[in-house]
Amino acid sequence: MSLFLFLLNLPFTLTGVVPVILSGPYSFKLNKNPIALIFKVKSFWWAFGYFRYARAMTVGHIILMGPKELKNDLEHEIIHVKQCERYPVIFPLLYLYELLTKGVRQNRFEKEAYTLSKSVYRPIKQS
Ligand SMILES: [Zn+2]
């Protein structure tokens, strides 16, 4: 089931290769459940808008962990991968809708990720 969901989300996940290349990946780890490709990266120098405050990012089943990682950030990103499995294919649209109507912290996907992972919301420019 997990592999099936991974394949359904593959087109969206592949767009995550671009930020991985831009951010200077230096380590890789495969998470099995949910399937997640975890890259540690040097910098989100290219980021704009609210992405400037990101310590980590998730695109489909790709997770990017930046240099300023805080406690439970990886757990937070894993929850976004699970959300992507829960709403295969349409998750990016649902997330975008939530983001545009409720903002970063109050959208339901971030609320769930912060609550379940106990990660820290701290919007400080990262570089
Ligand atoms: Zn998040």
User: Binning pLDDT at 50, 70 and 90, where does residue 106 land?
Assistant: very high
pLDDT at 53: 85
| Spatial contact of 76 and 114, defined as CB atoms under 8 Å apart | yes
- For residue 100, the CA-to-ligand 1 centroid distance in Å is 15
Work out the mean pLDDT of the chain and round it to a whole number. Answer: 94
> Ligand 1 mean position to 113 CA, how many Å?
6
pLDDT in tens, 62-74: 999 999 999 999 9
Q: Is 19 among the domain residues?
A: yes
- Determine the pLDDT at residue 122: 84
> What is the 8-class DSSP label of residue 60?
T
- Into how many domains does the chain fold? 1
Bridge partners (DSSP) listed for residue 28: 39
The three-state secondary structure class of 120 is coil
106 Cα: distance to centroid of ligand 1 (angstroms): 11
Pick from 9, 30, 4: which is nearest to 83 by CA?
A: 9
| Residue 27 pLDDT greater than 80, yes or no | yes
pTM summary value: 0.94
Q: Is residue 124 in a domain?
A: no
